[in-house]
Amino acid sequence: MKIFVLFASLLLSAVSALGQENYRLQGSIEVDITSPINWIERYEKELQTLDKRAESEPSECDVLFFGSSSIRMWKTLTEDMAPLKVVNRGYGGATLRDIFYNYERVFSHYTPKAIVLFCDNDISGDKNHDVTIAENIDLYRMIFTRLSKEYPDAPRYFLSIKYTEARKGIRHKQQMLNEMMAEIAERTGLFTYVDVNSLLLDSEGNPNPKYFLGDKLHITREAYALWAQELKRAMQGE
């Protein structure tokens, strides 16, 4: 079965300079799957865990983190970001398409003072499900634009896509995506680009094994500590 995920393109025009954003339906992303319900609900158990956690967590926090498994697996987040009060809303191997679909479940309970996103699965090397770089950029723009409207006083931070040995075949795409996101951040002010990728590279620009787990995709506690240090510097305007 083929389904088509619609996406829109943010038009950065003279109108947007007046505080208004226009969207144009640009196309559709063809995705080969056996069942659309299976794709939509593949992380339902993790989302139910997030739903339950929201019932007991304070609605106000200093920083809300969201995204894919690299956020979900940040077990030392509270310690690394202290004394800031943080909330972790990462789940599964989420793509930005997942997050759009589950947006209310991820955000609705919370009133964050700042928001941090890391999500690197829309381009992962999966030929059946990957989007193009342009489509990925559109997805990031759309979600940051929505956040800017619903949380206008909360600064937004984009953690750069990390190079990994597991995904070395798409490194050129990751590099291009990072460069474009850095440019968009500087040009629009929609979010702040935080380069956490370079912290994990060796002298030759390759992923440093000491910062990666055995799957050569996810990162170690030491790597997360480096991420936290760099993010705090960005939040302090350094």
Domains of the chain by residue range: 43-235
Nearest Cα neighbor of 129 from 25, 28, 6, 29 is 29
pLDDT of residue 17: 40
C-alpha–C-alpha distance, residues 190 and 31, integer Å: 29
Which of the four pLDDT bands, split at 50, 70 and 90, describes residue 40? confident
**pTM here?**
0.85
Residue 175 has pLDDT above 60, yes or no: yes
What whole-number distance in Å separates Cα of residue 157 and Cα of residue 225?
A: 17
Longest distance between any two alpha carbons in the chain, whole Å = 49
**pLDDT above 80: residue 29:** no
Segment 45-101, tens digit of pLDDT: 999 999 999 999 999 999 999 999 999 999 999 999 999 999 999 998 899 999 999
Q: Is the pLDDT of residue 145 over 60?
A: yes
Structure tokens of 128?
Answer: 């059946």
pLDDT of residue 30: 52
pLDDT at 3 over 60: no
Give, in degrees to the nearest 5, the angle at Cα 83 between 78 and 87. 40
Q: 81: exposed, middle or buried (C-beta count within 10 Å: 0-12, 13-18, 19+)?
A: buried
Q: Return the pLDDT at 171.
A: 97
Distance CA(140)–CA(184), nearest Å, equals 10
Tokens of 11: 């038009």
Predicted pLDDT at 5: 42
As a whole number, mean pLDDT of residues 180-192 equals 97
Contact partners, residue 186, CB within 8 Å, separation at least 6: 193
Q: Using the predicted structure, report yes or no on whether residue 36 has a pLDDT greater than 90.
A: no
Secondary structure (3-state) at 136? helix
Long-range contacts of 102-109 (CB under 8 A, 24+ apart): 102/47, 103/143, 103/146, 105/47, 105/50, 105/51, 106/50, 106/66, 107/64, 107/66, 107/150, 109/54, 109/57, 109/59
Model confidence at 127, in pLDDT bands (50, 70, 90)? confident
Average pLDDT of the segment spanning 14-39: 50
Tokens found for residue 66: 């969201």
pLDDT at 34 over 60: no
pLDDT tens-digit series, residues 6-25: 444 444 433 344 344 444 54
38 pLDDT tier (thresholds 50, 70, 90) = confident
pLDDT grade, residue 137 (50/70/90)? very high
Contact 99, 106 (CB under 8 A): yes
What percent of the chain stands above pLDDT 70? 84
Tell the CATH superfamily of the 43-235 domain: SGNH hydrolase (3.40.50.1110)
